[in-house]
Structure 1
Amino acid sequence: MRGMTTDYHPPVKRSVEIAGHKTSISLEPLFWDMLRTAAAEEGVPVNALVARIDVERIAADTPPGLAGAVRLWLASRAFTAR
């Protein structure tokens, strides 16, 4: 258990703003924690990081959904940090 977050918790829906438009993303608390940490390490707000991930996602040949793209981006970041 990491603080108040357990590894096995259903997704939590939160609102984010991308390019002036509000949308919601459902992520497990572990991924929300990882996203906040990544944003802090990069010195940007969570919304800005999600917007950047969204631009990369849309450029893909077969773009995943936004929540999936966030999870994949975080997993890729964790994997390359090894």
Structure 2
Amino acid sequence: MDLKDPDIFHPPVKRSITIAGHQTSITLEPLFWDLLKAASEQRDLPLNALVAQIDVLRLEADEPPGLATAIRLWLVQDLMAGEGAG
């Protein structure tokens, strides 16, 4: 998505997914939903499975963030790693 595209500023969208055997709602901006879907496809994982992995990682933190925040942070870290950064 291009930063000049007005759709990049679309408000967050709530979606329901099942992780760890229970239904949960996650609210993310469409850009992050697109990135999450691409990351799951790149890893040949269902979206729910990737979110479950991110959930496990966030719960290991000393002060776990909310799931939506953890997903955003994980996606940024994943993008930076793919670009050879930090």
TM-score (norm 1): 0.93
Which of the two has higher C-alpha Rg?
2
CA distance in 2, matches of 1:69, 1:8: 20
Q: State the shift of 1:43 in Å.
A: 0.4
RMSD (Å) for aligned C-alpha atoms: 1.3
1:1-82 pair list within 5 angstroms: 1=1, 6-82=7-83
Identity of aligned residues (%): 57
Gaps of 5+ in 2: none
Displacement, 1:7?
Answer: 1.0
CA distance in 2, matches of 1:70, 1:60: 14
SS in 2 for 1:60: coil
SS in 2 for 1:63: coil
Moved beyond 3 Å, runs of 4+:
none
Instruction: Give the unaligned 5+ runs of structure 1.
Output: none
Per-residue deviation, 1:24:
0.3
Q: How many correspondences in the alignment?
A: 80
TM-score, with structure 2 as normaliser: 0.89
Q: Deviation per CA, 1:19-72, whole angstroms, max 9, x where unpaired?
A: 110000000000000000000000000000000000000000110000000000
> Separation in 2 of the partners of 1:65 and 1:48?
17
